[in-house]
Structure 1
C-alpha cells in the first residue's frame, strides 16, 4: 500500500511539474534589428505622426491626461523606451504596440501592422538615435 501511494505521489508531482512548466512564462529570444539603417526622422517619426500624435502630443485633444507621453518631444518619447514589465524583451512602447502590455496602442483603433512595429523596434534596438 505504501509503495503504491509513493508511486501515485510521484506521478502527481511529475504531472504538476509538467503542467507548471508548460504554463511558465517564456520571454523568447531577444529581438534583433532586421534593418540597422532605420532613421528616426525618415522612418519612425512619420509612423508616430500618423498613428500616435492625435492623442500623444502636447496639442492633442487630451494633453492633460496623466500617463500620456508627448511624442513631439524626443526626450518624452525616450521615457517610453524603458523595458516593459509585461515582457522585458520589449520596451513599453513596443509592448503596447504589440498588445503585450495594457493598454494596447493605438487605443481603440486598428493596431499597427507588424512591419510598422518592426521599424520602430529596429530603431530602438540600434539605440534610438535622434537622427
Structure 2
C-alpha cells in the first residue's frame, strides 16, 4: 500500500534526479560552448595579429611603391634631358663634321692655288730671265 508521504518522497527524489540531470547536461553544454568560444576567440586574436602584420607590410609596400614611382619619374626626366643633350651633341657633331669638310676643301683649294701661284711665279721668273738674256 502506498502512502502519500512515500509517494511524495519518490516524486521528490525523481524531481531532484531529473533536475540534477538537466543541470549537469546544461553545465556540460555550457562547458562545450565556452571551450569552443575560447577556441574561436584565440583564432580571432591570431588572425588579428596576422592582419596587423599584413597591414604593416602593405603600408611598407605602398611607401616603397611610391618611392619607386618617384624614382622612376626622376629617371625618366633625366633620360629625357640626356636624350635632348644627346640630340644637341649629335647636331653639334654634324656641324663640326661640316666645318671639318669645309676646312679640308679650303685647305685643298689653298694648296692647289698655292701650287698654281708657284708655277706662275716660276714661269714669270723664267720669262724675266729669258728677257734679260735676250737683251
* TM-score > 0.5 by shorter chain: no
* TM-score, normalising length: structure 1: 0.27
Greater RCO structure (CA 8 Å; 6+ sep): 1
Tell me which structure has the larger Cα radius of gyration: 2
Greater fraction helix: 2
